Structure 1
Amino acid sequence: MRHDTLKHFEYHKWANQKVFEHLKNLPEELFTQEIKSVFSSISEVVIHMCVADAMWLKVLSGGSFEQSKNLAIQLNQELRGKGIEGITAFFEDTAIQYQTFFESLEDLDADITVEHPSFGRMKTSYSELMNHVINHGTYHRGNISAMLRQLGHASVPTDYVFYLLNLNETTL
């Protein structure tokens, strides 16, 4: 397996956990407060991130686009009733499922074909799709950071270099 893809997924988990822990320490009403932004609330962004991670795991595991779309619809409804604690638990469970999936693969660089009803068929690798999952999370953590600032609160640093510094601190 490709070490860099797995390391980048570890970064994805670390960065999301940093944001989720920060959100837990802010006033509870902030999580669902309506805001004029890319998403209508921080909870909407967090739910979208978690649903997307689960949906892409379904795709990576061989699920069809239709199965993945149905899963996304179901999870969107289920997660709407949960607070940050429940959504964090869902994210952590999904991350464990990714780890199990990685362990079942012989080669993250192996080809996978994904078929989308509107955009067509794409042949790529598992590692390339994981790059998408990781990049997607980075993008939406940026949304959360901007929304927090708009609401008068600071965010937490989750750039990749902070992950590397955190690794360095834990190995000293």
Structure 2
Amino acid sequence: MTAPLPLPESFALTFRGYDRAQVDERIDELLAELRLLTVDRDAAVAEAGHLARQLERARAEHAELSARADRLCRTPADPAAVGDRVRHLLDLAHAEADGIVTTARERAAAIVRDAEEAAERRTADARAQAYRIVDDARRRAGRLAAIERRTADRLRRIDAFLADAESLLDEQTPLRAVA
């Protein structure tokens, strides 16, 4: 996130108030920064959506692999059709397969859990960053509005002062040349 631009304490005074070009330039700078902050916020929200889609794909893959492992484990060889030695090997193979399936399920559950936590953290971070960006933009807009009100008020006072000065000048009689 970019650092906020410092606001000048005052603008240069000209004959009819503040230098309009300077004020316009400053407002353009603030609007450009506001656009950048909006783009940053939109990118963070898009990243959160991308992570959510990845999580859903991981869940679907986990469900598919679990179903496949269950199908493989449900079709054991018939122990009555084989000898004692083969039966013992089949029992060992079944026990090992059960262990592998259990380990795989635990690992898959851990991966899903980690992915969910990461997605939640990134979503929360993106949401917090978006709120900060919006709050910052609102504060800046408020400051700009206050500056605009103060500037307008000063311009009104200056215009009134100039009008009074012009009317005083119009009312005065011309000075006579001293001979």
Shared fold per TM-score greater than 0.5:
no
**Bigger-Rg structure (1/2):** 2
Q: Could you say which structure has the higher helix fraction? A: 2
Q: Could you say which structure has the higher strand fraction? A: 1
The TM-score normalised by the length of structure 2 is: 0.30
